[in-house]
Amino acid sequence: MAANTVLNYLPRKSMVHELTGTTKLAFFLLFTFASMITYDTRVLIGLMVISFAAFRVSHIKLREVRFMLVFMLVFLILNDVFIYLFNPEQGVEIYGTRHVIATLFWRYTITWEQLFYTFNISLKYFVALPIAILFISATNPSEFAASLNKIGVSYRVGYSVSIALRYIPDIQRDYHSISQAQQARGVELGKKEKLLARMKNSVNILLPLILSSLARIDTISNAMELRGFGKKSKRTWYVQRPFSRNDYLVLAFGVLILVLSLVITFWDGNRFYNPFV
Protein backbone atom coordinates (compact mmCIF):
# COMPACT_ATOMS: atom_id res chain seq x y z
CA MET A 1 0.00 0.00 0.00
CA ALA A 2 2.82 2.34 0.79
CA ALA A 3 4.05 2.43 -2.77
CA ASN A 4 0.43 2.67 -3.86
CA THR A 5 -0.05 5.87 -1.95
CA VAL A 6 3.14 7.38 -3.31
CA LEU A 7 1.75 7.15 -6.81
CA ASN A 8 -1.95 6.78 -6.02
CA TYR A 9 -2.51 3.28 -7.41
CA LEU A 10 -6.24 2.47 -7.58
CA PRO A 11 -6.73 -1.25 -8.16
CA ARG A 12 -9.98 -2.49 -9.76
CA LYS A 13 -11.31 -4.55 -12.63
CA SER A 14 -11.14 -2.80 -15.97
CA MET A 15 -9.74 -3.28 -19.42
CA VAL A 16 -6.99 -0.79 -18.70
CA HIS A 17 -6.01 -2.48 -15.46
CA GLU A 18 -5.87 -5.86 -17.13
CA LEU A 19 -3.27 -4.72 -19.64
CA THR A 20 0.26 -5.62 -18.59
CA GLY A 21 2.40 -2.94 -17.01
CA THR A 22 4.73 -3.17 -19.97
CA THR A 23 1.95 -2.26 -22.38
CA LYS A 24 0.87 0.66 -20.27
CA LEU A 25 4.41 1.93 -19.90
CA ALA A 26 5.10 1.62 -23.62
CA PHE A 27 1.79 3.20 -24.60
CA PHE A 28 2.34 6.00 -22.12
CA LEU A 29 5.75 6.75 -23.59
CA LEU A 30 4.55 6.58 -27.21
CA PHE A 31 1.56 8.75 -26.47
CA THR A 32 3.52 11.28 -24.43
CA PHE A 33 6.08 11.50 -27.22
CA ALA A 34 3.37 12.11 -29.80
CA SER A 35 1.76 14.82 -27.71
CA MET A 36 5.11 16.44 -27.03
CA ILE A 37 6.09 16.74 -30.68
CA THR A 38 2.86 17.87 -32.24
CA TYR A 39 1.40 21.35 -31.99
CA ASP A 40 -1.21 20.61 -34.62
CA THR A 41 -4.60 21.48 -33.16
CA ARG A 42 -6.40 18.75 -35.10
CA VAL A 43 -3.97 16.10 -33.92
CA LEU A 44 -4.16 17.38 -30.35
CA ILE A 45 -7.94 17.18 -30.36
CA GLY A 46 -7.76 13.68 -31.81
CA LEU A 47 -5.29 12.63 -29.11
CA MET A 48 -7.50 14.17 -26.44
CA VAL A 49 -10.47 12.13 -27.56
CA ILE A 50 -8.40 8.93 -27.26
CA SER A 51 -7.04 9.99 -23.93
CA PHE A 52 -10.46 10.77 -22.41
CA ALA A 53 -11.94 7.57 -23.86
CA ALA A 54 -9.18 5.53 -22.22
CA PHE A 55 -9.91 7.26 -18.93
CA ARG A 56 -13.57 6.30 -19.12
CA VAL A 57 -12.78 2.68 -19.85
CA SER A 58 -10.58 2.50 -16.74
CA HIS A 59 -13.52 2.98 -14.33
CA ILE A 60 -11.44 5.44 -12.36
CA LYS A 61 -13.65 8.20 -10.98
CA LEU A 62 -12.75 11.84 -11.39
CA ARG A 63 -13.10 12.51 -7.68
CA GLU A 64 -10.48 9.85 -6.93
CA VAL A 65 -7.91 11.84 -8.86
CA ARG A 66 -9.29 15.27 -8.03
CA PHE A 67 -6.15 16.25 -6.19
CA MET A 68 -4.02 15.70 -9.31
CA LEU A 69 -6.49 17.45 -11.57
CA VAL A 70 -6.66 20.52 -9.35
CA PHE A 71 -2.91 20.61 -9.00
CA MET A 72 -2.34 20.41 -12.76
CA LEU A 73 -5.05 22.95 -13.45
CA VAL A 74 -3.46 25.48 -11.10
CA PHE A 75 -0.10 24.76 -12.64
CA LEU A 76 -1.50 25.18 -16.13
CA ILE A 77 -3.19 28.49 -15.41
CA LEU A 78 -0.10 29.86 -13.70
CA ASN A 79 2.02 28.78 -16.63
CA ASP A 80 -0.35 30.40 -19.15
CA VAL A 81 -0.27 33.62 -17.14
CA PHE A 82 3.50 33.58 -16.94
CA ILE A 83 3.79 33.01 -20.68
CA TYR A 84 1.53 35.95 -21.31
CA LEU A 85 3.41 38.20 -18.89
CA PHE A 86 6.75 37.34 -20.42
CA ASN A 87 5.72 37.48 -24.03
CA PRO A 88 2.20 38.61 -24.98
CA GLU A 89 3.22 38.35 -28.63
CA GLN A 90 4.31 34.68 -28.60
CA GLY A 91 1.22 33.69 -30.62
CA VAL A 92 1.86 36.39 -33.16
CA GLU A 93 5.46 35.25 -33.57
CA ILE A 94 4.37 31.66 -34.14
CA TYR A 95 1.45 32.21 -36.50
CA GLY A 96 2.84 35.25 -38.31
CA THR A 97 -0.34 37.35 -38.33
CA ARG A 98 -1.75 39.80 -35.80
CA HIS A 99 -5.49 40.14 -35.10
CA VAL A 100 -5.94 42.43 -32.11
CA ILE A 101 -9.05 42.02 -29.93
CA ALA A 102 -8.26 44.50 -27.22
CA THR A 103 -5.39 46.59 -25.89
CA LEU A 104 -4.86 46.53 -22.13
CA PHE A 105 -1.82 48.68 -21.30
CA TRP A 106 1.78 49.05 -22.37
CA ARG A 107 2.75 46.04 -24.48
CA TYR A 108 -0.11 43.90 -23.24
CA THR A 109 -2.63 43.47 -26.03
CA ILE A 110 -4.90 40.51 -26.49
CA THR A 111 -4.68 38.94 -29.93
CA TRP A 112 -6.52 35.98 -31.49
CA GLU A 113 -3.14 34.47 -32.17
CA GLN A 114 -2.13 34.60 -28.50
CA LEU A 115 -5.47 33.13 -27.46
CA PHE A 116 -5.12 30.34 -29.96
CA TYR A 117 -1.56 29.65 -28.84
CA THR A 118 -2.67 29.55 -25.18
CA PHE A 119 -5.51 27.24 -26.18
CA ASN A 120 -3.05 24.92 -27.91
CA ILE A 121 -0.55 24.82 -25.09
CA SER A 122 -3.36 24.09 -22.61
CA LEU A 123 -4.61 21.40 -24.94
CA LYS A 124 -1.16 19.85 -24.90
CA TYR A 125 -1.36 19.43 -21.12
CA PHE A 126 -4.89 18.14 -21.24
CA VAL A 127 -4.04 15.55 -23.82
CA ALA A 128 -1.26 14.10 -21.70
CA LEU A 129 -2.99 14.43 -18.33
CA PRO A 130 -5.53 11.53 -18.41
CA ILE A 131 -2.97 9.12 -19.87
CA ALA A 132 -0.43 10.08 -17.22
CA ILE A 133 -3.00 9.68 -14.46
CA LEU A 134 -4.06 6.36 -15.92
CA PHE A 135 -0.50 5.15 -16.15
CA ILE A 136 0.13 5.70 -12.46
CA SER A 137 -3.35 4.93 -11.14
CA ALA A 138 -3.95 1.76 -13.12
CA THR A 139 -0.49 0.23 -12.95
CA ASN A 140 0.54 -1.84 -9.96
CA PRO A 141 3.84 -0.30 -8.77
CA SER A 142 5.15 -3.85 -8.37
CA GLU A 143 5.06 -4.11 -12.16
CA PHE A 144 7.19 -1.03 -12.83
CA ALA A 145 10.54 -2.74 -12.56
CA ALA A 146 9.52 -5.73 -14.66
CA SER A 147 7.99 -3.44 -17.29
CA LEU A 148 11.07 -1.27 -17.57
CA ASN A 149 13.15 -4.39 -17.95
CA LYS A 150 10.83 -5.72 -20.64
CA ILE A 151 11.08 -2.60 -22.78
CA GLY A 152 14.84 -2.90 -22.75
CA VAL A 153 16.05 -1.11 -19.63
CA SER A 154 18.65 -3.05 -17.62
CA TYR A 155 17.04 -5.01 -14.79
CA ARG A 156 19.44 -3.36 -12.36
CA VAL A 157 18.04 0.06 -13.21
CA GLY A 158 14.53 -1.37 -13.07
CA TYR A 159 15.26 -2.66 -9.61
CA SER A 160 16.55 0.75 -8.51
CA VAL A 161 13.10 2.13 -9.33
CA SER A 162 11.53 -0.64 -7.30
CA ILE A 163 13.81 0.12 -4.33
CA ALA A 164 12.94 3.80 -4.57
CA LEU A 165 9.22 3.02 -4.40
CA ARG A 166 9.79 0.56 -1.57
CA TYR A 167 11.75 2.94 0.65
CA ILE A 168 10.07 6.29 -0.04
CA PRO A 169 7.58 5.77 2.83
CA ASP A 170 10.36 4.73 5.22
CA ILE A 171 12.50 7.72 4.32
CA GLN A 172 9.54 10.04 4.59
CA ARG A 173 8.88 8.75 8.10
CA ASP A 174 12.55 9.13 9.03
CA TYR A 175 12.57 12.68 7.74
CA HIS A 176 9.49 13.46 9.76
CA SER A 177 10.80 12.14 13.05
CA ILE A 178 14.26 13.64 12.57
CA SER A 179 12.82 17.05 11.87
CA GLN A 180 10.54 16.85 14.91
CA ALA A 181 13.44 16.01 17.18
CA GLN A 182 15.44 18.89 15.68
CA GLN A 183 12.56 21.31 16.10
CA ALA A 184 12.54 20.46 19.78
CA ARG A 185 16.10 21.78 19.83
CA GLY A 186 15.08 24.94 18.07
CA VAL A 187 16.10 24.04 14.52
CA GLU A 188 13.47 25.71 12.33
CA LEU A 189 13.07 25.75 8.56
CA GLY A 190 10.12 28.13 8.52
CA LYS A 191 9.83 31.80 7.72
CA LYS A 192 10.91 32.90 11.18
CA GLU A 193 14.52 32.31 10.22
CA LYS A 194 16.63 34.13 7.64
CA LEU A 195 17.26 32.35 4.35
CA LEU A 196 20.87 31.46 5.09
CA ALA A 197 19.93 30.24 8.57
CA ARG A 198 17.20 28.09 7.07
CA MET A 199 19.70 26.49 4.72
CA LYS A 200 22.18 25.91 7.52
CA ASN A 201 19.43 24.49 9.70
CA SER A 202 18.42 22.11 6.96
CA VAL A 203 21.88 20.52 7.25
CA ASN A 204 21.00 19.55 10.83
CA ILE A 205 18.13 17.48 9.48
CA LEU A 206 19.74 16.26 6.27
CA LEU A 207 22.92 14.96 7.86
CA PRO A 208 21.25 12.41 10.14
CA LEU A 209 18.92 11.52 7.28
CA ILE A 210 21.81 10.90 4.88
CA LEU A 211 23.95 9.03 7.36
CA SER A 212 21.12 6.69 8.26
CA SER A 213 20.31 6.27 4.57
CA LEU A 214 23.92 5.35 3.82
CA ALA A 215 23.77 2.73 6.57
CA ARG A 216 20.56 1.51 5.02
CA ILE A 217 22.26 1.22 1.60
CA ASP A 218 24.83 -1.12 3.20
CA THR A 219 22.20 -3.33 4.82
CA ILE A 220 20.08 -3.57 1.71
CA SER A 221 23.06 -4.38 -0.52
CA ASN A 222 24.12 -7.13 1.87
CA ALA A 223 20.63 -8.56 1.99
CA MET A 224 20.37 -8.50 -1.81
CA GLU A 225 23.77 -10.01 -2.28
CA LEU A 226 23.02 -12.82 0.16
CA ARG A 227 19.98 -13.66 -1.92
CA GLY A 228 21.83 -13.69 -5.21
CA PHE A 229 20.96 -10.37 -6.83
CA GLY A 230 23.05 -9.72 -9.90
CA LYS A 231 24.46 -13.19 -10.29
CA LYS A 232 22.99 -13.66 -13.77
CA SER A 233 22.66 -11.35 -16.73
CA LYS A 234 18.88 -11.76 -16.70
CA ARG A 235 16.26 -12.27 -14.06
CA THR A 236 12.61 -13.29 -13.99
CA TRP A 237 9.86 -11.34 -12.25
CA TYR A 238 7.24 -12.66 -9.88
CA VAL A 239 4.64 -10.11 -10.97
CA GLN A 240 5.20 -10.17 -14.71
CA ARG A 241 2.12 -11.19 -16.69
CA PRO A 242 1.99 -12.73 -20.16
CA PHE A 243 0.86 -10.59 -23.10
CA SER A 244 -2.73 -11.04 -24.16
CA ARG A 245 -4.40 -10.10 -27.45
CA ASN A 246 -5.37 -6.71 -26.06
CA ASP A 247 -1.78 -5.94 -25.17
CA TYR A 248 -0.67 -6.42 -28.75
CA LEU A 249 -3.59 -4.37 -30.03
CA VAL A 250 -2.93 -1.49 -27.66
CA LEU A 251 0.77 -1.49 -28.49
CA ALA A 252 0.05 -1.48 -32.22
CA PHE A 253 -2.44 1.32 -31.68
CA GLY A 254 0.19 3.30 -29.74
CA VAL A 255 2.68 3.01 -32.59
CA LEU A 256 -0.03 3.95 -35.08
CA ILE A 257 -0.94 7.05 -33.06
CA LEU A 258 2.65 8.21 -32.98
CA VAL A 259 3.19 7.64 -36.71
CA LEU A 260 -0.12 9.22 -37.69
CA SER A 261 0.36 12.27 -35.52
CA LEU A 262 3.88 12.75 -36.89
CA VAL A 263 2.65 12.43 -40.47
CA ILE A 264 -0.31 14.78 -40.06
CA THR A 265 1.73 17.29 -38.09
CA PHE A 266 4.61 17.56 -40.52
CA TRP A 267 2.66 17.02 -43.77
CA ASP A 268 2.74 20.71 -44.49
CA GLY A 269 6.26 21.17 -43.14
CA ASN A 270 5.10 23.03 -40.05
CA ARG A 271 4.54 21.79 -36.50
CA PHE A 272 1.73 24.26 -35.97
CA TYR A 273 -1.75 24.20 -37.42
CA ASN A 274 -2.33 27.72 -38.65
CA PRO A 275 -5.96 28.87 -39.08
CA PHE A 276 -4.90 32.49 -39.66
CA VAL A 277 -3.50 32.16 -43.19
Partner 1 sequence: MKNSSIKTVVAVGIGAALFFVLGRFVAIPSGIPNTNISLQYAILGMLAAMYGPVAGGLIGLIGHTLIDLSWGGSPWWSWVIASTFVGIIVGLFAKKLALNEGDFGGKKIALFAIVNVIANVIAWIVIAPSLDVLIYAEPVAKVFSQGVFAAIANSLTAVIVGALLVAAYSKTIAKKGSLDKE
Partner 2 sequence: MNTPIISFRDFTFQYRAQARPTLYNINLDIYPGEKILIAGPSGSGKSTLASCVNGLIPFSYPGESTGQLFVDGMEAKKESIFQLSKSVGTVLQDPDGQFIGLTVAEDIAFALENDCVPQAEMHTATKRAAALVDVENHLGYAPHELSGGQKQRVSLAGVMVDDVKILLFDEPLANLDPAAGKQTIELIDRIQKETDTTVLIIEHRLEDVLWRSVDRIVLMDEGRIAADLRPDELLSGDLLTRTGIREPLYLTALKYAGVDVTPEKKPAHPETLVLDEKDQELVRSWFHSVQAPPPPAAQAPLLEVRGLNFGYTKDRTTLRDISFSIRKGEMVSIVGRNGAGKSTLSKLICGFETPDSGSVFLDGRDISDDNIRTRARRIGYVMQNPNQMISKTMIFDEVALGLVQSGLKPDEVRARVEDTLKICGLYPFRNWPVSALSFGQKKRVTIASVLALGPEIIILDEPTAGQDFRHYTEIMEFLRDLNAQGVTVLMITHDMHLMLEYTPRALVFSSGSLIADKSAAEVLCDSDLVERAALKETSLFTLATRCGIEPPEQFVQRFIDYDREVREHGC
Task: Scan residues 100-159 and list those touching partner 2 (CB under 8 A).
Answer: 141-142
In angstroms and rounded to an integer, the radius of gyration of the C-alpha atoms of the chain is 24
> Count of residues binding partner 1 (CB under 8 A)?
77
136 binds partner 1 (CB under 8 A): yes
Binding site partner of 260, from partner 2, partner 1, none, Cβ cut-off 5-8 A by kind: none
Determine the Cα–Cα distance for residues 258 and 38; give it in Å rounded to an integer: 10
Q: Does 192 sit near partner 1 (CB under 8 A)? A: no
SS3 89: coil
Residue 234 binds: one of partner 2, partner 1, none (C-beta under 5 to 8 A by kind): partner 2
Query: In the set 103, 154, 222, 270, which binds partner 2 (CB under 8 A)?
Result: 222
Helix (H) or strand (E) holding 133: helix 112-137
Whether 90 contacts 114, CB under 8 Å = yes
Residue 205 vs 251, nearer CB to partner 2: 205
Q: Is position 224 an interface residue for partner 1 (rule: CB under 8 A)?
A: yes
Q: Does 237 bind partner 2 (CB under 8 A)?
A: yes
Residue 174 exposed, middle or buried by CB count within 10 Å (0-12, 13-18, 19+): middle
Residue 242 CB, nearest distance to partner 1 (Å)? 26
Mention every residue, 6+ apart, whose C-beta is less than 8 A from residue 25.
Answer: 135, 139, 144, 147, 148, 151
Q: Which residue in the set 229, 253, 272, 276 belongs to the binding site for partner 2 (CB under 8 A)? A: 229
Using the rule CB under 8 A, is 174 a contact of partner 2?
Answer: yes
Among 13-21, 68-76, 244-252, 255-263, the segment contacting partner 1 (CB under 8 A): 68-76
> With respect to partner 1, which residue has the nearer C-beta, 87 or 246?
87
Q: Does 106 bind partner 1 (CB under 8 A)?
A: no
Cβ 157 to partner 2, closest distance in Å? 15
Terminal-to-terminal C-alpha distance of the chain: 54
| CB atoms near residue 137 (< 10 Å) | 22
- Of all residues in the chain, what percent are helix, strand and coil, respectively (each to 5)? 70, 5, 25
Q: Does 217 bind partner 1 (CB under 8 A)?
A: yes
Are the C-beta atoms of 226 and 16 separated by less than 8 Å? no
Other CB atoms within 10 A of residue 67 CB: 10
Give the residue from 72, 63, 26 showing the smallest Cα distance to 251.
Answer: 26
Q: Do 271 and 39 meet the contact criterion of CB atoms below 8 Å apart?
A: yes
Residue 184: CB minimum distance to partner 1, A? 18
Stretch of residues binding partner 1 (CB under 8 A), selected from 18-26, 64-72, 245-253, 262-270:
64-72
Residues near partner 2, by CB under 8 A: 1-4, 141-142, 162-163, 165-166, 169-170, 174, 177-178, 180-187, 203-205, 207-209, 211-212, 215-216, 219-232, 234-240
